[in-house]
Structure 1
Amino acid sequence: MTATTHRRLLTEIPGPASKALQQRRAATVAAGVSSVLPVYITAADGGLLTDADGNTLIDLGSGIAVTNVGHGVPAVVDRVREQASAFTHTCFMATPYEGYVEVCEALAELTPGSFDKRSALFSTGAEAVENTVKIARAATGRQAVVVFDHAYHGRTNLTMALTAKSMPYKHGFGPFAPEVYRVPGSYPFRDAPGLTGEQAAAAAIDRIEKQLGADAVAAVVIEPIQGEGGFIAPAPGFLPALSRWCSDNGVVFVADEVQTGFCRTGDWFACEDEGVMPDLVATAKGIAGGLPLAAVTGRAELLDAVHHGGLGGTYGGNPLACAAALGAIETMRTRELATAARGIGETVLPRLRALAAETGVIGDVRGRGAMLAAEFCTPGTTEPDAELTKRVAAACHAQGVVVLTCGTDGNVVRLLPPLTLPPDLLEEGLSVLEQAVRTEAAR
């Protein structure tokens, strides 16, 4: 637990203790593992992080959309403590346990669609996405997988193939898994003026049909709101049109809700915004309050098409992670965190839009619920300004506010606050961000 309920800076960021830990890290941790802000955390509570120097920072990143319920949540902590005192691992594939079943029951209830569902549990979002492809191929007997520009789906070999951005995710790591095909998506800020979601979907479908043919496609895999690609919400009508085409052609429609799921966008799942019911949903991140858990949930006939023993993993559905997930889901329900996420958006979006009008360096403000972004551009153009974006993030970090960047061009500041973040901390964090933008824009 933190020792304070507000932002407090006792040293520069990072301070001496964090710098000393950074030196130790350099001697033993692989250089390829990076950190956004090299402060070393010793405690966290709600939406605050306390570092090794006693500084307390406002967390507007949630560990990249993981701690949706905040830090130190009693329902999560108590369930994990109770489970740890009972047993920590047996491997569900060897000797199963009730927690795994309970999580699958909750997923069947919460994910979009009233059809009969099954789930399989894993450890990471990339693992979940990769298994959606395995399931789709097994169920359809087809091989091709369609993904989109600006997509991010993970760091395994197959999910690197699904991911669009080269640096730092793919550069130097090929060759990648075959039978992956990329088509344009919907990016309202950068699409032709007036292009509707239906028209963007028609263009993508035309590309698929001409280059592959529908009968070759096992799955279409898409983030309902693209995450690492820039928090890009497609134009209305885009997702429903793709979903209909998949249904009409026997293609499995896969929603990668790893970042958007579990109340983050103001609904339990982002697909609900337009009533889309995916055949398969990949989840992770916010599902378990910080413990590693992921899932594939979807139509029973798809998951049950895989041969016995074809799905699994040693740590998939670990009992501690399942306990944490049940506590996190309980917290989301009792504290109505989907509603809380919408409230965060209602606070943040007007302030970002006003800041864009004032400074002229923000080309687009977008997002839904508590998944929000500002895209920085050279004033009067749509030319990405990655350098300004880096300076703004660094200025926020220096003042004790954790923000993250993203985007294919590295020019987007993204905000992912815990859905339990107190309003005063949200307002304070936004004020720091606003001042950082004003100062850096004037340089």
Structure 2
Amino acid sequence: MTFGAAERGAYHLLSSDREHPLPMLSNLLVLLVLGANLLFSGFISGWASMQLFLIDEDQYHDRCESPSVRCAAQESQLALIYGLAQFTTTLSSFPAGLFLDKAGPVATSLVAGAFSAVGFALMAVSDSVTFDAFIEGYCLIGVGGTLTLLTSFQAGFVHLPWQTLVLAAANCLFDASAVMPSVLYALHTALGLSRQTLLLVYAGLALAVYPLVAICWHLHRGTKEVKEEKRLAISWTTQLISLPFGFLAVFASVHNLQSAIFFGTVNRMLAVDGDQRLVYTRAFGWVLPVGFLAVPLLHAVVRKYSVLGAMFSTSLLCVGYHAFLLVPSLELQPITFVLFTIFRGFLYSTVAAFGAETFGEASLGSLLGALYSLCALVALCQVPIVVAANAAPRWAQHMYIVSLATAVCMLGVLECYRRYHSVRPVTTESEGTRDLPTSRLLSS
């Protein structure tokens, strides 16, 4: 029996007559959570457009010797804003997950809203000469986004039959959130609105959205249910050293590293293949944010073949995009882009779905936070790999072959876990709730 099944069985034992929230409230909660995800969770990933605001205003240009030319000192300072924000966001994943599991989604939503609102306000009023708080503001936006993403996974437990769909939507909207700075810059260009105005409005939007999310969470859960969850929670440290978590860590970290390597080398590979006018490079930039279109496909795969079947599909998609990438033909690369985009949508959605199904709601934030931090550390290996691949395109071909072989090996790892899982004695939830006391359920 999985930790998640034990948790659900124990809840059923303790409270078969619990009040259930109105369907309208549940639907509103899910929509608000997903909306917050789109607006805020991955905002810092759209740094390219945010940077254009600062460049247009000549922020940090005082560090250049020539007043008419951008210099390395200015570009380094701009890069430092994103670099520190990304590092802080990654570092915050684990403590953010612990806070979510300890305090619950109501408090976490309010904290995320406070971080986001203050972050956007700082980004709005900052100036490189008079009040330089760009780094602090962008770091707060990143941490608020992490809290938002982790909290959104709790919405997968609002309607269990639609859990995979909600988790997949949350992950894909996290990617799509990176487009929001581009939307703001487009408004700036078209309407002449200033950075200060746009970001202060965005801060106000955070102050409006997050309290609504918190209120809906409070009405949906209730204090009685929260107390039950805390009392029944299985220790996250017990789950952290379990075989399922080890398997999930290998699956997620390997495929996340492959994704990072692809991002770091694809532009150079397209240039080597002859994309001198950057037509295919721009096409990739447009294809990537529409990964949410793969959500219904993922939901169908999970319903028919289970989460483990979706993980097999993820590795097969990884094999597929590597195979097309190794073909030196620009005309075939749009297929690579589509396969890679679906692969990313499947990857992060199946990781969240596996965690929810296997470990349950009570410690999901801590475990996914720890997992994301681990994946980020492993992804640091891509730095020397990308540098070497971009410097020597022939070496890049060998690197892609090794990455392809790794994806094939991952299929073997998945098959080993499937066989291990299939031979374990399985107790159904109904049997567990009928025959086992709570203490045995929690120790299964």
TM-score, normalised relative to structure 2 = 0.27
Q: Which has more helix, going by share of residues?
A: 2
Q: Which has more strand, going by share of residues?
A: 1
Greater RCO, 1 or 2 (C-alpha within 8 Å, sep 6+) = 2
Larger radius of gyration between Structure 1 and Structure 2: 2
TM-score, normalised relative to structure 1 = 0.27
